[in-house]
Amino acid sequence: MALNVTVTNPREAGHLTVFPSGGSIPTTSNVNFRAGQTVANSVIVPVGPDGSINVRNAAWAGTDVVVDVVGYYSADSKGAFMPLKPGRLLDTRAASWTHGPLRARGYVWLALSPDEPHIAGYVLNTTVTNTAGTGFLSVAPDPNTWQQYKDKTAVFPARPTSSTLNWTAGRTVPNLVQTSSGNTGVVDFWNQGWDNADLVVDIFGYYETK
């Protein structure tokens, strides 16, 4: 399974380990946290014989955990991962980007493969920096086409509810993202906080269904 695992409201420092049900507890960690911190990380984990996973909190105090399912891998899958030389898709700090930081409660869209329906998804790294307050980033496919944005006929997309990464004021936070291309090849990056923040997006590969 491909997951995004978020820890929030931890009462002391610790780490989470995600592993298949029925298996022994690994000695590695998937998410590390401090008391009071909200932090997310991308996790890829096999499922156990019963189709489930375990999440272990190694701290001595409780914490809330949010698990979002991004996708799954199967021998019957029609797609294959195609690695790319890492490349930068967006940096809102760059002089070539004239729109400024990612606006509070707003989003920016990127047309990653508008004319390539055989691409089912992307592997990206997102980084948020120059944060003025708390917030979280959501990444989701856009229902609008690139042409609709060009023609100014695009409708406002539904706001996602899951988080890709979480931040507090003054923090620079990265996280790996695997996202679907949807039906249009356009992907949205949402600032779910109440303050502007800079966003950096790098691409590492894509899933092809030819």
Tell me: pLDDT of 78 over 80: no
For residue 79, pLDDT over 90 is answered with: no
pTM: 0.87
Query: For 32-57, how does the pLDDT look when each residue is reduced to its tens digit (9 = 90+)?
Result: 999 999 999 999 999 999 999 999 99
* Mean pLDDT, rounded, of the chain: 94
Torsion of CA 105, 101, 150, 87, to 10 degrees: -120
pLDDT of 75 > 90? The answer is no
**Nearest alpha-carbon partner for 180 in 147, 140, 143, 138:** 140
Q: What is the pLDDT of residues 121-131, one digit of tens each?
A: 999 999 999 99
Check whether residue 52 and residue 112 sit in a common domain.
Answer: no
* pLDDT for res 27: 87
- Same-domain check for residues 102 and 33: no
Kindly report the CATH number assigned to the domain that includes residue 161. Answer: 2.60.120
* Nearest by Cα to 137 from 102, 113, 169, 170: 102
The boundaries of the domain holding residue 119 are 80-208
pLDDT over threshold 80, residue 16: yes
Query: How much helix, strand and coil, in percent to the nearest 5, is found in the chain?
Result: 5, 50, 50
